[in-house]
Chains A and B, each alone.
Chain A
Amino acid sequence: MSGYIIQRCLQAVVVMFAMSVIVFVGVYAIGNPMDVLIPLDAPQDVRALIIARFGLDLPLWKQYLVFLGNVAQGDFGRSFVYAIPVLDLIVSRLPATLELTLAAVIGAAAIGVPLGIWAGYRPDALSSKTIMGVSILGFSVPTFWVGLILILTFAVWLGWLPAGGRGPVDVVLGVEWSIFSLEGLSHLLLPAVNLALFKLAMMIRLARAGTREVMLTDTIKFARAAGLSEGTIVRHHVLKLIAVPIVTVFGLELGSTLAFAVVTETIFSWPGVGKLIIDSITSLDRPVMVAYLILVALLFVTINLLIDLAYAVLDPRVARSRAA
């Protein structure tokens, strides 16, 4: 068991190293940051000074080693555009993204699971077919398009909600929140709905598929034979039996929602990490791109590691078969 854990952790470290090399080399390959940083009419000596200051005159492998050494000390360099440490920049944008992501995922689960259970419980009812039809829409329609329609409907035509931006924030426990004021909530609502739709469709499908399978099992037949009411069966048996995959996916989806937030944040000008990365791609802000990608890779490698370890703890066969 401990052998498996050590092996798995080592693997994660190797993957992170590989990712850091790929990201660093890949990002180095795009554009020439000097064109962005240095005005065209700058004199030669100023040019050389700036190049030396950012270490752009060193060979690539040396730049990578310098970078790695700095990262080990928590220093991802300074943003070319904002001229502040990259890590500070990303951390300052993180609360906005986390708030948006959490609002979307929690909302999707709270609405999607009951709808999915209903659709699986009565697969042939008209309401169930409607729910499934809508869920196909949620899966198919690109996030950015839904965002546009939400803005067009609620901001441009009806004028009920703001079209973008985060609005005022309150500082609670040292973090900025928009959920504590009505104005803030009104800014959060559209992007959160936009981000949630895909997850909602997914939750509906998961809950429906689970329910359909569970409804055919002997457990449910027995519960019915025992005279339990249908409501009790759904609440106590179906929900419990479908909970494990749903909770797993819920955890996994938190990560990928961060990725989708890139699109939503851009459309709604939500000042989160996703908008930051798009902006830094367009302005060739290399340190920000590298740091963002490495942090995202770290996030996903960690999530995977934790899932694998959790499975190994829950089912010792996994560890035995893989360690062999």
Chain B
Amino acid sequence: MSEAATPLGRFWADFKDSPVAVVALVVVVAIVVLAIGAPWISPQNPYDLGGLSLLDARRPPGHIGTGGYVHWLGTDAQGRDLLSAILYGLLISVQIGFMAGCVALAVGASLGVIAAYAGGLIETLIMRIVDLQLSFPAILLALVLVALLGQGKAQLVTALVAAQYAYFARTAYGAATTERRKDYIEAATATPLSRTRVIFRHLLPNCMPPLIVVATVQIANSISLEATLSFLGLGLPVTEPSLGMLISNGFVYMMSGRYWISVYPGIALIVLIVAINLVGDQIRDQLNPRLRR
């Protein structure tokens, strides 16, 4: 193999060695593309009530509906084409997961780096709160917050961020405490650069590798948490039907053997989450110095 020049090139060269991870990455990209393209590629707009017919309700996969096309994955209780509903649901799930992951990364990483750089009282205060929160299960925290904040996208993302930023803060803090003792930070501090600039332009970028691993895993976790909350009826409002809600709606019909309403959205959800986790796993192994060959 040719020696790649940039760190990113080296990283990609290592990444390519794991076929599982490459397949997983392809799946993630494909799902994101499908989700974003949902309004154009799905056979039906599942939330245009005028396009739905109750004659098509709860039909098994392969049924040819009144619309004249095949419902490959069947229809739900309102006569919605499940394939379309899944594509739209994926879009909502991906959006929520990505937003929650990014905001949690920004908030958590900033807090962790600031704690490590500032030291003293600020460090104790921030890290005490973070540690306290880490000992508390994220799902319970998110559950309570969603119950308190009410339903809605912004509320849900807030709850997910509040439940997850602590992981980023811990990781950033760990990386930053080692980084800040290095000479380049001392050199930067000696120059007339502002503290903010030293923290965010010099310290933070060098703490990114472990944070990227956490971010990958946390995006998957956000998607899973969102689905769980929506399944429990506490996540998004009915007007924003994510995958969790589709699964929840189908649960009642599952007992009578109409499995597809719950099962197919669930499969879509799991493929997405597992693929993200597999990519994250590979990145983690590559960045772990103890497993370096």
Q: A: which residues have CB within 8 A of B?
A: 15, 26-27, 29-30, 136-137, 139-145, 148-149, 151-152, 156-157, 163, 213, 252, 255-256, 259-260, 262-263, 266, 278, 281-282, 289, 293, 296-297, 300, 303-304
Contacts and interface: CB of A to CB of B under 8 A. Distances in A.
Given A145-B266, A148-B262, A300-B136, 18 more contacts: A27-B148, A30-B148, A140-B220, A140-B224, A141-B274, A142-B227, A142-B270, A145-B270, A148-B254, A151-B255, A157-B257, A213-B290, A252-B135, A259-B140, A262-B140, A262-B232, A266-B232, A304-B135
A303 B137 contact: no
Contacts of A304: 132, 135
Contact of A281 (B234, B247, B254): B234
Interface in B13-48: none
Contacts of A143: 228
Contact of A300 (B135, B263, B270, B277): B135
Given A137-B274, A260-B137, A30 B220 contact: no
Nearest to B147: A281
A124 to B, nearest CB: 13
B148 A140 contact: no
Interface in B218-253: 220, 224, 227-228, 231-234, 244, 247, 251
Contacts of B263: 148-149, 152
Q: Which 9 A-B pairs have the closest CB atoms?
A: A259-B137, A259-B140, A256-B137, A142-B224, A140-B274, A140-B277, A281-B147, A26-B148, A140-B273
B208 interface: no
B214 interface: no
Contacts of B132: 15, 304
B254 A156 contact: yes
Contacts of A296: 140
B289 to A, nearest CB: 13
Contacts of B251: 148
B150 interface: yes
Given A27-B148, A282-B233, A304-B132, A156 B224 contact: no
B281 A152 contact: no
Given A15-B132, A139-B277, A140-B273, A148 B266 contact: yes
Nearest to B273: A140
A23 to B, nearest CB: 8
6 contacts: A29-B148, A142-B273, A145-B247, A152-B262, A259-B139, A260-B139
B233 to A, nearest CB: 7
Nearest to A252: B135
B126 to A, nearest CB: 15
A30 B147 contact: yes
A157 B263 CA distance: 14
Interface string B126-141: 0000001001110110
A144 B254 contact: no
B73 interface: no
A137 B259 CA distance: 21
B228 A142 contact: yes
Given A26-B148, A278-B232, A145 B269 contact: yes
A152 B254 contact: yes
